[in-house]
Amino acid sequence: MDLGLDGKRVLVSGGSRGIGLATARLFAEEGCRLVLVARDQEGLEAARAELPATTDVVLVAADLADPKLARRLADDHPDVDVLVNNAGAIPGGNLLAVDDATWRRAWDLKVLGYVNMSRAFYPRMQARACGVIVNVIGNAAETLDPDYICGVTGNAALVAFTKSLGSTSEGDGIRVLGINPGPVATGRLVKRMQARAAERLGSAERWQELLAPLPFGRAATPDEIAALIAFLASRHSAYTSGTVVTVDGGASGRSATF
């Protein structure tokens, strides 16, 4: 399927690994020009090495917890057609386990980071009457795991933000969408499962056995999430806005947490 994305400028935050890197690869294969943003310059350089050699890509090492950097990115790259907000990982813990500093630091990057990036780029897209914002959020907004309460609350806020902004953005020629992935087999998840397998099963190499209770007996792959991001950003999804798509194999419908 021709997604009609050739030549589009796509900015991916958290673009050096996991879902962000898979997304960057797919957009590159579609002929897009990329801006990859992550905190680690070395990680960004490694990510560039995984892209097709002909890819037009700009690397920006920045901590998007700082709202000034979002505005600077918009000033430096005013022609962004597709903004993929993907930076940030909120730590686990119940209400009393997550201290004030951790809670605020996590939200500054993911929750307020998505808001700041959207606020910075929206006027640029509005001036051209064209643009797409895709927020990679997480199904914790639906599973409501009390042992991940900081992430549950942050993700729920981003779901509401996405639906609210996307409900009227079409009037400005902009579509705003979200994706709620369940567990995804990124390096972060694999490391966590390996540690858990070493503790519970006596061998880190048996980590995939712990995924057996998941739908299809596995986590999603980063490429599966990237494929949906690209489709939602494409012309084939031109009538979609204010929508958040859950990609967790149906897990959130079971009212179960992982």
| Annotation: CATH topology of 9-184+220-244 | Rossmann fold (3.40.50)
CA atoms of 258 and 251, how far apart (whole Å): 9
What pLDDT does residue 1 have?
A: 74
Measured torsion, CA atoms of residues 124, 126, 132, 134, in degrees rounded to the nearest 10: 70
Picking from 40, 15, 48, 256, the residue whose alpha carbon sits closest to that of residue 136 is 15
Residue 180 confidence (pLDDT) above 80: yes
What pLDDT does residue 194 have?
A: 87
Q: What is the tens place of the pLDDT at every residue in 126-152?
A: 999 999 999 999 999 999 999 999 999
| pTM score of the predicted model | 0.93
